[in-house]
Amino acid sequence: MAQTVLHTAASRGVADHGWLKSHHTFSFSSYFNPERVQFGALRVLNDDEVAGGRGFGEHPHDNMEIISIALEGTLQHNDSMGNSANIETGEIQVMSAGTGIYHTEYNKNAAEPVKFLQIWVFPNKRNVEPRYDQVKIESPAQPNQLVQILSPNPEDAGVWIYQDAWFNLGKLEKGSTVDYAIHQKNNGAYIFVIAGKVEVNGQLLDTRDGYGIWDTDGFTITADADAEVLIMDVPMNL
């Protein structure tokens, strides 16, 4: 029988540093909730808003797969591998931190905030050579279809990471339904509602709610309003 966990938007940890407003689905920085540490290999899901012209100064990471999805605005990235890039709305960026990487992230626009999701996944291989990639998220062939934006396979659609994880984005019109099949046994899926309202196997979810489901082969999402969802299909055991 399917196991589930519901994390409503309002139950998330909140950090307000003035220039940075962040909602943490899982324990992060000064937000610590022993019952909200991870969903399998998915360790961090931060919903960040950075004020105009502000950002994160140079800081390091190691042994973590770090994914950013720009929701509004442009994020400016520079790193110790020599990458310098702008992540625009509708793009996804990935870094495999591996043996160590330094980077900065700033809001390119001086006047408007940038909004993005910052997601960390535990890698299945440690101490890899650090790598960076960024792609534009493709539009689906037909309305109300999911689009794969991340996988473990370099040849597959979207970016890739060192983990048996698959991410899909879906823009769903009110009344539409989409089925999702979990990719492999012992994986679970975490559904994050970016906008709108949906039902997952009958569970109502509002904007910025999160819902984990595992011990099942799949589930059905029904849009109760125009909606955008992110599905993160990750191993439940490390």
Residue 14 or residue 238: which is nearer to other proteins going by CB? 238
Which residue in the set 63, 74, 145, 201 belongs to the binding site for other proteins (CB under 8 A)? Answer: 63
Site string for other proteins, 115-134 (x = CB under 8 A): -----x-x---xx-------
Interface with other proteins, residue 98, by CB under 8 A: yes
Stretch that binds other proteins, among 57-65, 106-114, 145-153, 178-186 (CB under 8 A): 57-65
Going across the sheet that includes 177-181, the strands are 177-181, 218-223, 198-200, 203-205
Q: How far apart are CA 57 and CA 55, in angstroms?
A: 6
Interface with other proteins, residue 235, by CB under 8 A: no
Interface with other proteins, residue 167, by CB under 8 A: no
Site string for other proteins, 25-44 (x = CB under 8 A): -xxxxx-x-x--x-----xx
Q: Which residues bind other proteins (CB under 8 A)?
A: 26-30, 32, 34, 37, 43-44, 59-64, 66, 97-100, 102, 120, 122, 126-127, 238
